[in-house]
Amino acid sequence: MYTKLLTKYALGGNTLVNRICLPPMAVWAATESGHVTDYILQHYSGVQGVGLAIVEATAVSPEGRLAKLQLGAWSDDHIPGLKQLATAIKATGALPGIQIHHAGRSTNREKTFGAELVAPSAVTTGQDIPMALTIAGIESIVEKYATAAARVVEAGFKVIELHGAHGYLISQFLSPTSNLRNDEYGGTLENRARFALEVFTAVKKVVGSKALVSMRLGVADSVEGGLHLGDGVQVARWLETAGADLLHISSGIGGAPQQLRLDHDDFSPLLHLAATVKQHVRIPVIGVGSIRKPDQAERALELGMADIIAVGRGILADPLWAAKAASQPASISLCRGCRPCGHFKHPFSCPARQ
């Protein structure tokens, strides 16, 4: 029935069983040292039928943690658990991907267990004031991304997604509101994008042909003076030139600009961001944003808005969303769009799962 959504898709030497992606969504259920738990294994094993599953934001270093129970890949000790996780995802038939992440200023010292926050500039989000990174500090974080990438590849992940969206460290470098530097990492767009491209290049180098490297790129901020969509598209093009295998398009600081919403359709502003980027790059683009039903995903593909459709809360609400899309779409338990999504802290409070 859904001829585009449910058709196999060739992605960089891999064949996805369909074009449905589980986007990274943190369940905050790792140990305090960032290790995989049985709960996490069960959570990802329960998602059935997707072509690509991307594990939630996984910290590349302890001071980059966004939550106390966030997954980590900053130590070799994390590899065995991550290997179990990649294996569990493969067993569902999905290609296993993982997002690697550094929160930068968007955390606090309680969540980092006392470690000082770092950011492009000492501009606070209202939590603790971050320390502006020195050049040596930037080089050290680039290296941490690369070693974390090597670990997740060793664990068996086949898509490495760099978190470059939602106001976290890479997004902070891109945005003129959080990057006030006047050295080679600040000022012009080229300078603000330098960190993103250096992280990408360092990761690509260690990963080689063992996995695909992607970025979840926040192409537009919705704060005054923030990153414009035109500039975000340019960064997407630079990433393509640098060898990105895939791009997962989302928002930067403050979510997607609402004015992108078009009155004549029911696609979210986020999906429109992906559609815009898709017009300017040749590599595959993942689009995301408020897809609740398979019909919507099929239509977005028909319209050429993206190559792969990520279904976030839709799959939290019904982990069998993708499997049911193929057999009994009417039986999908639909996400109710609660604000905020209870899955962040209270998975069992999701009304769609009652």
Ligand X SMILES: Cc1cc2nc3c(=O)[nH]c(=O)nc-3n(C[C@H](O)[C@H](O)[C@H](O)COP(=O)(O)O)c2cc1C
Question: Whose CB is nearest to ligand X?
Answer: 312
Active-site position among 9, 145, 168, 185: 168
351 binds, among ligand X, ligand SF4, none (CB under 5 to 8 A by kind): ligand SF4
Residue 350 is a binding residue for ligand SF4 (CB under 6 A)? yes
168 is catalytic: yes
Specify the amino acid at residue 70: Q
* Nearest to 212, CA basis, from 325, 308, 326: 308
Stretch that binds ligand SF4, among 54-62, 117-125, 296-304, 346-354 (CB under 6 A): 346-354
User: Which of the listed partners (ligand SF4, ligand X, none) does 304 bind, with a CB threshold of 5 to 8 Å by partner kind?
Assistant: none
Q: How far is the CB of 254 from ligand SF4 (least distance, A)?
A: 20
Q: Are 54 and 24 in contact (CB under 8 A)?
A: yes
The one of ligand X, ligand SF4, none whose footprint includes residue 207, by CB under 5 to 8 A per kind, is: none
Q: Which is nearer to ligand X, 186 or 268 (CB)?
A: 268
Nearer to ligand SF4, 243 or 337 (CB): 337
* Angle (nearest 5°) at CA 314 between 353 and 41: 70
Question: Whole-number minimum distance, CB 343 to ligand SF4, in Å?
Answer: 5
Residue 289, contacted partner among ligand SF4, ligand X, none, CB below 5-8 A by kind: ligand X
Q: Which does 350 bind (CB under 5 to 8 A by kind): ligand SF4, ligand X, none?
A: ligand SF4
Structure tokens at 108: 């606090």
The minimum distance between CB 1 and ligand X, in angstroms, equals: 21
Task: Give burial (CB, 10 Å; 0-12/13-18/19+) of 105.
Answer: buried
Burial class (CB in 10 A: 0-12, 13-18, 19+), 330: exposed
Q: Render 49-97 in DSSP notation, one character per residue.
A: S-SEEEEEEEESSGGG-SSTT--B-SSGGGHHHHHHHHHHHHHTTPEEE
- Binding residues (CB under 6 A) for ligand X: these are 23-26, 56-57, 99, 163, 165-166, 216, 250, 288-291, 311-314, 341, 343-344
Tokens 């997740």: give the residue: 152
Nearer to ligand X, 168 or 185 (CB): 168
The three-class DSSP label of residue 30 is coil
Q: Is 43 in the site for ligand SF4 (CB under 6 A)?
A: no
Q: Please give the Cα distance from 344 to 321 (Å, whole number).
A: 19
154-172: b (≥16 Cβ within 10 Å) or e = ebbbbbbbbbbbbbbbbbb
Binding-site partner at residue 352 among ligand X, ligand SF4, none, CB < 5 to 8 Å by type: ligand SF4
Report d(CA 92, CA 344) in Å as an integer: 23
Map residues 305-344 to x or -, x wherever contact with ligand SF4 holds by CB under 6 A: --------x--xx-----------------xxxx--xxx-
Q: What are the residues facing 11 on neighbouring strands? A: 14
Q: Which is nearer to ligand SF4, 148 or 335 (CB)?
A: 335
Q: Is 39 or 113 the residue whose CB approaches ligand SF4 more closely? A: 39
Q: Which residues bind ligand SF4 (CB under 6 A)?
A: 313, 316-317, 335-338, 341-343, 350-352
What residues are labeled active site? 168
